[in-house]
Every structure is written in structure tokens, then in C-alpha cells.
Amino acid sequence: MKQTMGVNTIDFKYLRQLVYEHSAVVLHGDKTYLAELYLQPIAESAGFASISELVKHLRIQPFSSLHVQTIEALVTNETSFFRDTQPFEVLKQFLLPELVKTRSVERSLNIWCAACSNGQEPYSIAMLIRENFPMLANWSVKLIASDFSSKVLERAREGRYNQLEIRRGLPNTLRDKYFQKLDSDWQINNQIRQMVEFRQINLLQSWSSLPEFDVIFLRNVLIYFDIATKKSLLKKVRQQLRPDGYLFLGSGETTINLDESFERVSFNKATCYRLHNA
């Protein structure tokens, strides 16, 4: 008979430590039910009778792809096209027009989505550029999108979304223009896909392979980190951002009380950040 799966406190403590060590994400105690939901399929497909059996295996075995799968399953990937709307409006109405002017000699622009999940965020930026800034077609525009999770990056590179995902935030006009129907899903077309360079980057590790950026989207990821991690990542952002560049955080995130080198810049209902004295 199949055993009932469940995550007990001791197993959850181990899982929380495993996730923290590899991603810095802090899993709160109220996530035990989610852990059960996400780990059950992994335990089953790896042939374990319960999540406890899976955890027992993970504890004694050297770090393996099963550890990676477990960690990636426990980290939130929630995202959508044009999430929160306003940051994209600010990019369209204020920041990109300004950057088009200030970078008109070098004609290059670097944008980074630093925790891009399944790709909706960078593809939203790519569509926004394609729709509104035709002059950038002759520039060197680097749109780098990264995540630590190979699972989400694989999906992001494929650019294939189900009905539910495609309906979240994406206007039908953009869907019809930039996506092709694939069975009941929709897949981004090559024109937009080629604008985005996906890379696997764990924010805790070195960023030395990256260029300096004019705009950094670091949205809805700091919220999962503890204060020390937030501070150390904002310090790295400071070094990665051009002196007059802009940083976007999620709506529940801020630099305030974490890094005083940033100042808030408000446009209508949206806020982004730039370095003092920019």
C-alpha cells in the first residue's frame, strides 16, 4: 500500500538548510505543506516510498542532481508577463527614452533580469523594446536573463507557455504578434527569443562574467533572503550598475535600511532606484 507523504519537522529543518546553503532562500515554517506538494512527485519518480525516505537518502549521499531537483522544487518561481505593469511603463515612458539619449554616442545598452524564472520578465522587456524603440535595432542591446535554477532556465529558453500563463499580463495583441500556437500552448517567436541571452547564475556566486548594466531588474527575489544576504547582494548590484543606471526591485522590496548608496526615484505610481550622485 502506498504510504502517505508528509514533511515532518526534522526533515523540513534539513531541507531548509539545504535550500539556504545553495540559494540563500529562507524557507519559512509555514511552507511545510508546499514542501509536501512539491517534493511528492520527486520522491515518487526517484522510487522512494515517502518524502522521509527521499530526505534520508539526500542526507547521506554526496551532492547530486537529486539534491538540485529538490532545492529547485522548493524555491518559488512565481512570475508573469509585465508583472505589476508599472515598472514596464516607467521603462517605456521615462528610462529607455532617457538612455536612448544619454547612450546615443556609444549606441549600446545592457539590461539584466537577475532572477528571471520562466522567462516572462525578460520577454516582456524584449517585446517592449521591439514595440516602442525601433531605433535600438541598430544598437548593441544586451538583454541578459539569469536564474540559478536549470529547471526554470530550460523553460525560459523554450519560451513555451500554457493558457493560464499566457493570459497573465500579456495583452492579446502582443500574444498574436509574437507567439505561435503549439497545441494548447503558445511559444515565443525567434525574433523575440533571440533578443534574450539566458545564463545560469547563482546570485551568491561571482558576477565577474557580467558587463556593467544600464538597467537591472532584481525583482521578487530579495524578499526570500535574510538581511545579510540582501545587503551583500545590493553591494554587488552597486558595483554592477553604471553610475547613472537604474535598479528595479519587486513591489515588496526596498534598499532602504539595507544600502544607503541608493536613492529612490518615483515616477507616477512606480519606484526604482539609482545610485546617489548619479
Task: Say how far apart CA 231 and CA 205 lie, in whole Å.
Answer: 14
Site string for ligand SAM, 137-176 (x = CB under 6 A): ----------xxx--x------------------------
Residue partners of 229: CB distance under 8 A and separation at least 6: 24, 204
Binding-site size, ligand SAM (CB under 6 A): 24
Residue showing cell 519559512? 28
**DSSP secondary structure letter of residue 1:** -
Instruction: Tell me how far, at minimum, the Cβ of 249 lies from ligand SAM, in Å.
Output: 9
40 forms part of the interface with ligand SAM (CB under 6 A): no
d(CA 144, CA 113): 6
Long-range contacts of 94-103 (CB under 8 A, 24+ apart): 94/267, 95/215, 95/246, 95/272, 96/129, 96/132, 96/133, 99/214, 99/215, 100/133, 100/135, 100/136, 102/244, 103/139, 103/214
Closest separation in Å from C-beta 251 to ligand SAM: 9
How far apart are CB 22 and ligand SAM at their closest, in Å? 8
Rounded Cα distance between 14 and 52, Å, is: 11
Residues 192-211 that bind ligand SAM (CB under 6 A): 202-204
CB of 222 to ligand SAM, least distance (A): 10
Can residue 254 be called a binding residue for ligand SAM (CB under 6 A)? no
Stretch that binds ligand SAM, among 29-37, 62-70, 113-121, 125-133 (CB under 6 A): 113-121
According to the binding rule CB under 6 A, does residue 240 interact with ligand SAM? no
Nearer to ligand SAM, 5 or 91 (CB): 91
Contact flag: residue 220 with ligand SAM (CB under 6 A): yes
Least Cα distance to 220 among 91, 16, 83 occurs for 83
CB 152 within 8 A of CB 77: yes
> Quick check: 115 binds ligand SAM (CB under 6 A)?
yes
Nearer to ligand SAM, 204 or 265 (CB): 204
Name residue 187's amino acid.
Answer: Q
6 sits near ligand SAM (criterion: CB under 6 A): no
In terms of Cα–Cα distance, which of 33, 61, 34, 25 is closest to 46? Answer: 61
Q: Which of 24, 96, 188, 195 binds ligand SAM (CB under 6 A)?
A: 24
- By CB under 6 A, the residues from 70 to 89 that bind ligand SAM are 75-79, 83
Q: Which stretch binds ligand SAM (CB under 6 A): 116-124, 167-175, 177-185, 239-247?
A: 116-124
Q: What is the DSSP letter of 210?
A: S
> Nearer Cβ to ligand SAM, position 48 or 119?
119
By CB under 6 A, name the binding residues for ligand SAM. 23-25, 75-79, 83, 115-117, 121, 147-149, 152, 202-204, 219-221, 250
